[in-house]
Amino acid sequence: MDTAATGEIFRDATDADVDALVALIESAYRGDASRVGWTTEADILEGRRTDPEGVLQVIKSPDSKLLTVEREGRIVACCQLEHRGDHAYFGMFAVSPVLQGAGLGKVVIAQAERLARASWGVTEMHMTVISVRDDLIAWYERRGYRRTGRMTPFPYGDERFGIPQRTDLQFELLVKELA
């Protein structure tokens, strides 16, 4: 457990956190509640962003952590870190929509990078972002991530990833060198 200067408590998620984490992730990306923040995908994807089984799988995986951020006893942010050889994968990143735009995301991603370096000795962080999310990609670029141009197809027809509202979705790999 680690406490940020701003009063957040960082810790690994447990089985008991699953429902709260699913609710947080859904609120940050899907439906009308997500429109309060700027990370919403409501205009490009409908349906679920994740489910209890997916969250539990990340928590239980031996090569993965689900970093949970609490403020005043409530989970307000999270992110997945997965050890993949010489790099770590960053995903399942969510900040409560009502707290977006106030700097919490910057604190979380910086802590995730420190944790990945300290835990696994990795030199790079990788992530995939839906390529049409220009605002989100620009935010990551301001944090030091670079676009690679390496794309992977969106899994159309697999509703575990949402129900696409566009036909041009794909994932782009972003990479950051960790000092």
What CATH number has the domain bearing residue 97?
A: 3.40.630.30
- What was the pLDDT predicted at 42? 53
- What was the pLDDT predicted at 68? 97
In a domain, 140, yes or no: no
In a domain, 173, yes or no: no
- What was the pLDDT predicted at 110? 96
In a domain, 79, yes or no: yes
| Mean pLDDT across the chain | 87
In a domain, 155, yes or no: no
In a domain, 21, yes or no: yes
- What was the pLDDT predicted at 32? 60
In a domain, 141, yes or no: no
- Cα–Cα distance measured from residue 67 to residue 112, given in angstroms and rounded to the nearest whole number: 8
The pLDDT confidence band at residue 100, using thresholds 50, 70 and 90, is confident
Q: At 150, is the secondary structure helix, strand, or coil?
A: strand
Domain interval for residue 90: 2-128
Number of domains in the chain: 1
In a domain, 93, yes or no: yes
Q: At 163, is the secondary structure helix, strand, or coil?
A: strand
**What are the two backbone dihedrals, phi and then psi, of residue 65, each rounded to the nearest 5 degrees?**
-130, 145
- What was the pLDDT predicted at 119? 94
